[in-house]
Amino acid sequence: MDWLKLVHGTAPVKAPAFRTGDEVRVWYKILEKEKERLGQFEGTVIRCRGAGPSKTFTVRRVTYGQGVERCFPLDAKIVARIEVLRRGSVRRSRLYFLRHTIGKTRLTSEEATQASGRITEAGVPIVDATVEPPGAGEKAEHALAANDQPAGGAKPKGA
């Protein structure tokens, strides 16, 4: 594996003391024309993978109701420093279930259906941050049922 030494160098990776579930702030370099500045990405570490120079970690945060994940290589030159803001106590090494949570409560597909009335093809609920007036969920369900039926009253194939 001489190519790994060429790509990553021979210096050992100095890994900061963080793990899955911790809240971290990652300072990374942003190059703009001839200038260089530091940006920060703050969130929860949902995954650490790999070993040695190819180790990466994924940080997730929720911004304006939208989940954003970013994967950082541990030995990259763009990562200036990593600050651990809060230690987490988790029992898993991959926290993918956080993708389906809002705040501190986890949504089941049943609750999400009642909240928004829509579900994607993969069975993942689509949850809007806006508040719907009473009875709006019923209209959305009727609209979805109408969209599922073929146009012109034709029977679907295989029926």
Q: Considering the domain boundaries, does residue 155 fall inside one?
A: no
- CATH number of the CATH domain containing 44: 2.30.30.790
Q: Considering the domain boundaries, does residue 79 fall inside one?
A: yes
Confidence band (pLDDT; 50, 70, 90) for 65? confident
33 and 111 share a domain? no
48 and 29 share a domain? yes
Last residue of a domain, one of 96, 119, 138: 96
pLDDT for position 115: 52
Query: Which tokens is 83 given?
Result: 């600050």
Q: Considering the domain boundaries, does residue 158 fall inside one?
A: no
Q: How many domains does the chain have?
A: 2
- Rounded Cα distance between 90 and 63, Å, is 23
21 and 50 share a domain? yes
92 and 31 share a domain? yes
7 and 78 share a domain? yes
pLDDT (tens digit per residue) in 23-60: 999 999 999 888 999 999 999 999 999 887 788 999 99
Q: Considering the domain boundaries, does residue 15 fall inside one?
A: yes
The model's pTM is: 0.58
Q: Considering the domain boundaries, does residue 58 fall inside one?
A: yes
pLDDT for position 121: 53
Closest CA to 23 of 62, 77, 66: 62
Q: Considering the domain boundaries, does residue 23 fall inside one?
A: yes
Contact call for residues 18 and 84 (beta carbons, < 8 A)? yes
pLDDT for position 124: 53
Q: Which domain holds residue 13?
A: 1-96
9 and 50 share a domain? yes
Q: Reduced to 3 DSSP states, what percent helix, strand and coil does the chain have, rounded to the nearest 5?
A: 25, 35, 40
65 and 120 share a domain? no
pLDDT (tens digit per residue) in 6-23: 766 656 556 668 889 999
Rounded to an integer, what is the distance from CA 63 to the centroid of its chain? 11
